[in-house]
Every structure is written in C-alpha cells, then in structure tokens.
Structure 1
Amino acid sequence: MDSIFEQINSILASVFFFDIFFGMIDGVSMPFIVAWLIVGGVFLTFRFGFINIRMFTHSYKIITGKYKTADDVGEITPFQSLTTALSATVGLGNIAGVAIAISIGGPGATFWMILAGFFGMTLKFTEVTLAQIYREKRPDGRIMGGAMQYLSKGLAAKGHAKLGSVLAALFAVLAIGGSLGAGNAFQTSQAMGVLSERIPFFQTYPIVFGLIMATIVGIVIIGGIKRIASTAEKIVPAMVFIYLLASLWILISHASEVPQAISVIFHEAFAPTAAAGGMIGVLVQGFKRAAFSSEAGIGSAAIVHSTAAVKYPVRQGMVALYEPFIDTIVICSMTALVIVTTGVYDPAGEFANLVASKQGAALTAAAYGTVISWFPVLLSFSIVLFAFSTMISWSYYGERSWTYLFGEKYTLLYKLIFISFTVMASVTSAAAMLDFSDLLILAMALPNLIGLYMLQGDVKANLNTYMAKWKDGELDEEAIRK
C-alpha cells in the first residue's frame, strides 16, 4: 500500500510542488503552491483593507447571534457552520502538524505558521463570502455551495464558463481525494499511532481500530449535514477548552523558559539552523502546516459555510475570520510553545524515533507528558476525538464535491468509499499518508485561488454595500430583538 501512495505522491509533487526558483538558488526551494498561497493571502488582505482586524469585533457579534434576522436562509446556524468547519481544522493539524513542522523546520516554523494564519483569515473571508453569493438550493432542499459553485457559476457570469467548469471539476476531484486522504486516512493513521501507545492490542491488530472508527463515523455521516453540525457543535468547544487549559498549565509550569522559547522562535524564523534548510525551508514548513491546519485558501470550509443561515453573504465571511485565528494563531501557537519549551522536537533526543517517523500526535503527547504525567492518556483519547470530528466534517466536503460531479443519487457510494478508507488507513504508514495528504490539500488552492482572484470584485461590492448599511444603523434595525 505504501508503494502506491509513494507513486501518487511523486506524480502530484511534480505538478504542484515544483520549485519556482528552478534550482537556480543553491539550497533554496520554494514550492509553487506555497508561494501561490502567500501571494493570495497578502494581496486579499490589502485589497479588503485588513478586514481581518477591523471587523474582528463585529464578527464576534454575528457569531453570538446579535444580527440574526427573519430573512436568514440556510440549513444550519452561523455558529454551527463555524464549529463544523473548526472540527475539520482543530485537531491533528494542530496537534500532529505543529510537532511535525517544528521537528522538520525547527522552532522558527512557528512564526511563519502564525503569519500564515493572519493572512489566512482574509482568505477564509473571501472564499466563504463567494460561497454564500453563488450557493444554490437543490430540488431535495439541500444547499450546494463552495468552490465548485463559485468557480463554475461565478466565472460563467464573467464570460469564462469553460474555464470555470474545468476549475470546478478539478477542485471537486482534489477535494474528494483530500477528504479520503487528509480528512480521513491521515486522521485514522495518526489517531491509531498515538492510541496504540496506550493500548498495545491495536499494535497487533490495527485493523480492529480501523473498523471501530469506520463504524462510528458511518453512523454520523449517513445522517447528513444537520447531524454532522449538531455533533460538531457539542464536541468542538469542549475539545478546544480542555486542550487550551492543559497547554496553559504546562506553559505556567515552564514560565521561566517561555521567554527563551519565544526568542528562539523569532531568531530561527530568520536565521534558522542549517538542518532546517535555511529561511525559505522554515517558511515553507510554516505555511504548509498552517494550510493543512486552518485550510485557509484551500476552499474546503466554504462548502459548509455556504449552508449557514444568513441574509448577507459577507456576514458569514466575517464569521469565517475566526477559523484561522482560533485554529492557527491561538491553538497552534500554544502547541508550538509547549513543544519548544519541553524540547521534545530534538532529532537526537529522547523521542528521536517519533521525530524520524513523523508521528506528530505521539510527539505532542510526549511533550505534554513531560509536565502532566497522566495527560498523554487523556490526550491519546482526545486525539481520537479530534480525528473523529475532522473526519465527519471532511466527509461532508467530499460528499458535496462527489455530488457536484455525479449527482445526488450516488452520495451513498461516496460514503461507503470514505468508510473503507478509514479501515485501509489503519494498516498504512503515517509518513506516506502525510505526504499524500499535504499534496492533495495544498493542490486544492490552485483552482480555488484562481477563482478568488477573478471574483474578488464581487466580494468587494458586497462588502461595500454591507459596510454602508452597518454605518447607517440599518443592520441593527433588521436584527431580531431578543
């Protein structure tokens, strides 16, 4: 199985990860897709006047329901869409991904990860707003939205129907692959890796773990978006609270070492060790892991946000601002500080085997275990919960993409394929799965960002209209009084 993934990885890497410097700069490589995300995030942040900062408080008021109106249309609430999207991102990307980024690129990768999260807030705003603008209600009452819709319908409205259809189909294919890889198989692989450290039975019979996960996931995803959103709404806040509480406890325990850790992070962001591959190497690791963690610019979360009940498209875009902030700027930063202060990322240290095998979840568990001896046990089971929440959200992304390509009547077939990948992942190595996941997830940014560039004028027009109503007090008048 590993050899199959390695062959697929090689093909995808040659297409999406070619070096934009073409090897002309010795020892420096910048994958095209990473540069693509950086440029997109920076451009849109300036284009919309740093909306990720100036509308941050207003976004919170939307999430808490202050601007709910009688004209809101959708399947789930803005808060449910946020927690569902977060359930796909808050998890192993934060736990396993951060540890892997630091073990490969050094502590400096943390700085670039946070910066990527900052610009990622605007990417999320843009793609989610477009998803709301171009969503459509299907005959069965379900909403179809996301990059597939704004690429096909949006570009068609601009006179580029053929290009839109090709990009939409490409995105859907990559999203299906991403759901099976990063959103499913990688989650299962990492969860089993850390849980088997606590339950040796799963080391001997890994397929049993795969069958258990497949059964539980299957029960939820067959119920559709409302059951998925209801489950995520209950799980995500509790997961985040417990994880952050443990992180704070460890950082308080290492309070005297935190300033030094922060200093190391900033120093190695611009002057990394030779082993990290230079500044560009560290930057790439930071942006790769941030993209895998928050999925900003990837277009995946726009699928679920398109189902949120709101009156104005930009309103849900503003809700989405909080995803990269919570996921990357807050949680990933906390995880990184714990890993750096405890020193578990050292490739020559006590946990060298975990670093070498890219068992990021197990490495993070070890970091927390250096202070809270019993916490790795709790974290091990929490990681399974994180993996589960990510899988149910990504199943929806993949299912909507599958439906876009093949129609509603074949959705059950996709769900059965998704469940089978859960079982298959339990007997596949984490290293091969990690590379496969990275490639598919990051590749989604190619068609998605083309759409964001070409349709950003629509977002700007909607934003201007909304801001005018807000300044005139019209939005307050529309809100349902409680």
Structure 2
Amino acid sequence: MKNLALALSGLTLAAPAAIAQEAQGIDEKVNAAFAAATGPFVSFIFAPLPGTAFPWIVLWLVVAATVFSIYFAFIQFRGFMHSISLVKGDYSDPNDAGEVSHFQALATALSGTVGLGNIAGVAVAVGIGGPGATFWMILAGLLGMASKFTECTLGVKYRNEYADGSVSGGPMYYISKGFKEKGLPGGGILAILFSIFCILGALGGGNMFQANQAHAQISGIVGAYPGWITGLVFAIVVFLVIVGGIKSIAQVTEKVVPFMGVLYVVAALIVILFNIDKIGWAFGQIFAGAFTGLGVAGGLVGALIQGFKRAAFSNEAGVGSAAIAHSAVRTNEPVTEGYVSLLEPFIDTVVICTMTALVITISGQLMIDPETGNYLVADGVIQTVGGTSGVALTSAAFGTAFSWFPYVLAVAVILFAFSTMISWSYYGLKAWTYLFGEGKATELAFKIIFCIFVVIGAAANLGPVIDFSDAAIFAMAVVNITGLYFLMSVVKEELVSYRSRIDSGEIKKFKH
C-alpha cells in the first residue's frame, strides 16, 4: 500500500507538468493548422500597396473618410457644437423610440474603440514613424469623424424596432434594407458577410486579445500565474454585465468610459506638466517629423503610414461596429446620432492617442543623436532608453513622473480591456441574431460562447487566431464602406431635412 501510495503521489506530481506539456503541444498544433488555413486571408487584408509599406486597407479607410468629409462639406467641423448639445440631452425626448440616451450610446461605442491600441499601438507608431506620426494620426482621426457620421446615421435610419421596445441595427440592416429600397442587388449577401466578419472579430480582437493583454499586464505586476484565473474573473464580470443587454451595458459604460478616459488624460497631463518646458519642443518635433521624418526610417512616408495606420486601427471609423451601438439610441431623427458619433474619433484619436504620443515624446524615452538632432534608429525602430516598445514604452514614459504611475496605467489597461469586451459582445450579438434570429435563447447562447472565449483568450497563446480576427474586423470595413458609398445620398437627404427644420425652428430644444 505504501508503494502504491508513493506511486500515486509521483503520478499526481508528474501529471500537471505532463498535462501542461501536452496542452502546449496541442496549442502549437492548433496554431500551426489555423495559421495555414487563414494565412492567405490575413495576408490579403493587411497586404501593402505594391512598392510600399502602406496597407491597402488603411488607404481604403482614409480615402472613404476623405470622400465623406468633402461630400458632407466637412460636417465634423460645422456640426461639432451641435453634437455636444445632443450629447448633453438638449434635444432628447424620453418618449422617442430606442433603448439608450445619446450619451450612453456614445459611451458604449467609445468603450469599444478606446482600448489597448491607444496605449500600446500609439507607442508602436511613434517608435517606428517618430513623433511626426502623431500629426498624420490626428489628420486621419479628424477625417474619420465624417465616416462615423455617415454610418451611424444609417444605423438609426434602417434599424429594426420591436414591440418590447428593443432595437437591432447596424451595417447588416442598413445594407440589406437600403439596397432593397434603392433596387440594388447583393445587399443580402453583403449583410451576411458583414455579420460573419463581425462575429469573428468580436470573439477575437474584441474579446480574446483584450483578455490576453489584460492578463499580461496584471501578471507583470503581481507575478506569473495561470491565465485562466484572469479569464474566469473577467468572464464572470462580463457575463453579469452583458446578460442584461444594451441597457445594462450602457449603464456600465456611461460610468466606466468617463472614469477611465479622465484617469488616463489626467495622468498624461501630469507627465506633460512635469516637462512643461519641453511642450513647445515636443510640438515642434511632431510638425517637423510629419514632413521630414527627422531621420526616422522611411522619413515623411514612414511617419504618414504609421500615423494613418494607428488612427484607422484605433477609432474604427468606417468599420461599421459603432453603428451597431448607436442604433439603440432613443431618437426619431437618424441624423442626430450621426452628429453624436462624430465625436468618437475626436475623443479616441485626436485627444487620447495624441496624449499618449505627447507623453512618450516629452518624457525623453526616445533617444536622439545630439549632433544631428535626429532620432537614433536601429532596424527601422527608434531606440529607446530602456529598450522598450509597445505598452512597456508607454509605461516607462508615465513612470518618469512618479515611479508608481505604471500602476495607474495598469488600472487603465484593465478598464480599457473590460470596456472593449462588453461593447464588442453587443456587436457580435447583433450580428449573431441577424444570422440566427432574435430570441432570448439565441442571445443567451452567444453570450455564453463569448464568455468562454474570454477564458480561452486569457489562458492561451493564440497568435494566428488574433491575427485572423483582426483581419475579420477590417474585412467588415470592406463590406461596410462599399455599402456607405451607395447609401450616402440617403444620409445627405436626412441631413438637409434635419438642418432645414432646425433653422426654421420646427425642431426645438427639449425642455426637461
């Protein structure tokens, strides 16, 4: 019996290591098989234009944003103050159809875009394209405001409103219904394609990637521990929020988004104030680098590519995801939500991404050649004081003000990841119900699947899966923008009608 006990004890001790090794082997095989199957699709979506390093998908988004800006006479500037009035509730009637307020819809959509890309992605852009990338990032963000205006107006215009007061909207609805209204073929097929890409993107980039990076940030502070623990905690909290639907999600995001946004911006301002004497120099680096590159690999073109890429990947203008959240707003005027949504790229890219870039530039983390004034570059990447990149570079930059500032950043990372997950759960859910039908059972099935993927994302190293889901998110943009080009005349009609009624006094501020 003693020998048996010893044998069992040895088996017990050896089992976890053997199981872990076997699981790792299976994980690697799954990764390899998945990469082989999806590699061509991923390569196509992120392929550079011939002879350049500029991804064609980024050009697709930037060109569309420019077209919409011109077509709507730069509505992002003309309508900015009216957007703020709408968010404040000046024109909100609580009796209008819909589920959430203008502010809640904006907060929900923002929670899906303001995420780790604002922290780590900007650091990568500045690390490769230099501070000059910031200028092009801001420009792309300003143009992207017109794309949001277009897609979110259509989202409300063609949404489905149900007897229980709930609504469903987004590109799959306005493409299918809008094309049919105009007598155009192919709307149904495009809507199905968008829904498939949206579900894949929601489970991957909007879920697993967020859980994975949040676990990496937490374990980096408290020490290594199994990822499934982080995943399980996140999954439980996420489920408790999303099980209540868009109203529950909106109630959380309207509190979390302002808190995490203010927390991050205040932290950034403190770092900037600690280096107040360098503010003029930092802006000089941004403008000079935008047109000369300041010796950075790729020069002007490199800065432009990195800036446009970061803006496109961060604010998702043209992807169509935000239109799903904005479709749930309480309003009978579709164009009002177009106005509200154009604030998203401004907050996400022009404010938060720029703050990150300024902190990195001003904190002295980027190494400069004292003789030439150019940035020191090795293998196409700017050399940094600690040899860091991505979120580690941003963390080091924040740490120059106070040694404990990286902990504040860690809180921001966790909040950003959490808020992104709950918003993308709603995007994926609406694409799921478009394909499989509305109903409590259908919705619950997706929510459970989504939470299972939270655990998987935190526990596993699924590089190819994340790459594929990112590609799926930008494949959404291919379908969505195609639809927007055919339907932007509908938005123009809505805008002209709304503005004429505002100017005539027919539409007045609502007295609360």
Shared fold (TM-score greater than 0.5)? Answer: yes
Asked if 1:320 corresponds to 2:373, the answer is no
Number of residue pairs matched? 467
2:457, 2:396 → 1: CA distance? 23
Asked if 1:470 corresponds to 2:502, the answer is yes
**8 A Cα contact 1:98 1:336, kept in partner:** yes
Q: CA deviation at 1:410?
A: 2.3
**8 A Cα contact 1:297 1:448, kept in partner:** yes
Q: How has the CA–CA distance of structure 1 residues 361 and 300 changed in structure 2, closer, same or farther, with 3 Å as cutoff?
A: same
Secondary structure of residue in 2 paired with 1:198: helix
Which residue number corresponds to residue 84 of structure 2? 60
Q: How has the CA–CA distance of structure 1 residues 392 and 149 changed in structure 2, closer, same or farther, with 3 Å as cutoff?
A: same
Which residue number corresponds to residue 376 of structure 2? none
Q: CA deviation at 1:228?
A: 0.4
2:82, 2:165 → 1: CA distance? 31
Which residue number corresponds to residue 377 of structure 1? 407
1:436, 1:419 → 2: CA distance? 19
Q: How has the CA–CA distance of structure 1 residues 368 and 432 changed in structure 2, closer, same or farther, with 3 Å as cutoff?
A: farther
**8 A Cα contact 1:102 1:345, kept in partner:** no
Q: Tell me the alpha carbon deviations over residues 344-393 of structure 1, each in whole angstroms, 9 at most, x when there is no partner.
A: 356543432x42xxxx3333222111212111112212211111011101
Which residue number corresponds to residue 263 of structure 1? 284
Aligned-partner residue type, residue 33 of structure 1: I
TM-score (normalised: structure 1): 0.91
Aligned mate of 1:132, from 146, 150, 156: 156
**8 A Cα contact 2:42 2:467, kept in partner:** no
Which residue number corresponds to residue 103 of structure 2? 79
Q: How has the CA–CA distance of structure 1 residues 362 and 193 changed in structure 2, closer, same or farther, with 3 Å as cutoff?
A: farther
**8 A Cα contact 1:126 1:317, kept in partner:** yes
Aligned mate of 1:12, from 36, 41, 44: 41
Q: Give the alignment of 1:181-260 within 5 angstroms.
A: 181-200=204-223, 203-260=224-281
Q: Tell me the alpha carbon deviations over residues 191-242 of structure 1, each in whole angstroms, 9 at most, x when there is no partner.
A: 1222212110xx2322211221112111111111111000111111111111
2:120, 2:469 → 1: CA distance? 13
Q: Tell me the alpha carbon deviations over residues 9-64 of structure 1, each in whole angstroms, 9 at most, x when there is no partner.
A: 632233323333x33xxxx2332211111110011101111110011111111111
Q: Give the alignment of 1:234-313 within 5 angstroms.
A: 234-272=255-293, 276-313=297-334
Secondary structure of residue in 2 paired with 1:61: helix
TM-score (normalised: structure 2): 0.86
Aligned-partner residue type, residue 230 of structure 1: Q
Q: Tell me the alpha carbon deviations over residues 390-429 of structure 1, each in whole angstroms, 9 at most, x when there is no partner.
A: 1101100011011111123422222222112211222344
Aligned-partner residue type, residue 196 of structure 1: S
Q: CA deviation at 1:188?
A: 1.4
**8 A Cα contact 1:131 1:306, kept in partner:** yes
Q: CA deviation at 1:166?
A: 1.4
Q: Give the alignment of 1:300-449 within 5 angstroms.
A: 300-344=321-365, 347-352=382-387, 354-355=388-389, 360-408=390-438, 409-429=441-461, 435-449=467-481
1:89, 1:422 → 2: CA distance? 18
Aligned mate of 1:148, from 144, 148, 172: 172
2:42, 2:103 → 1: CA distance? 36
1:242, 1:373 → 2: CA distance? 17
Secondary structure of residue in 2 paired with 1:81: helix
1:176, 1:115 → 2: CA distance? 30
Which residue number corresponds to residue 53 of structure 2? 29
**8 A Cα contact 1:29 1:280, kept in partner:** no
Q: How has the CA–CA distance of structure 1 residues 433 and 368 changed in structure 2, closer, same or farther, with 3 Å as cutoff?
A: farther
Which residue number corresponds to residue 11 of structure 2? none
Q: Determine which structure has more spread, i.e. the larger CA radius of gyration.
A: 2
Q: How has the CA–CA distance of structure 1 residues 399 and 4 changed in structure 2, closer, same or farther, with 3 Å as cutoff?
A: farther
Aligned-partner residue type, residue 177 of structure 1: L
Aligned mate of 1:174, from 175, 181, 197: 197
**8 A Cα contact 1:129 1:316, kept in partner:** yes
**8 A Cα contact 2:132 2:291, kept in partner:** yes
Q: Tell me the alpha carbon deviations over residues 111-159 of structure 1, each in whole angstroms, 9 at most, x when there is no partner.
A: 1111111011110000000001100124654211010111111111111
1:434, 1:254 → 2: CA distance? 37
2:463, 2:139 → 1: CA distance? 26
- Select between 427-436 and 40-49 the one with higher mean Cα deviation: 427-436
Aligned-partner residue type, residue 325 of structure 2: V
**8 A Cα contact 1:71 1:311, kept in partner:** no
Q: Give the superposed CA RMSD.
A: 2.1
**8 A Cα contact 2:98 2:165, kept in partner:** no
Secondary structure of residue in 2 paired with 1:211: helix
Q: How has the CA–CA distance of structure 1 residues 344 and 205 changed in structure 2, closer, same or farther, with 3 Å as cutoff?
A: farther
2:464, 2:295 → 1: CA distance? 25
Identity, in percent, stands at: 47
Q: CA deviation at 1:84?
A: 0.7
1:276, 1:432 → 2: CA distance? 28
Secondary structure of residue in 2 paired with 1:196: helix
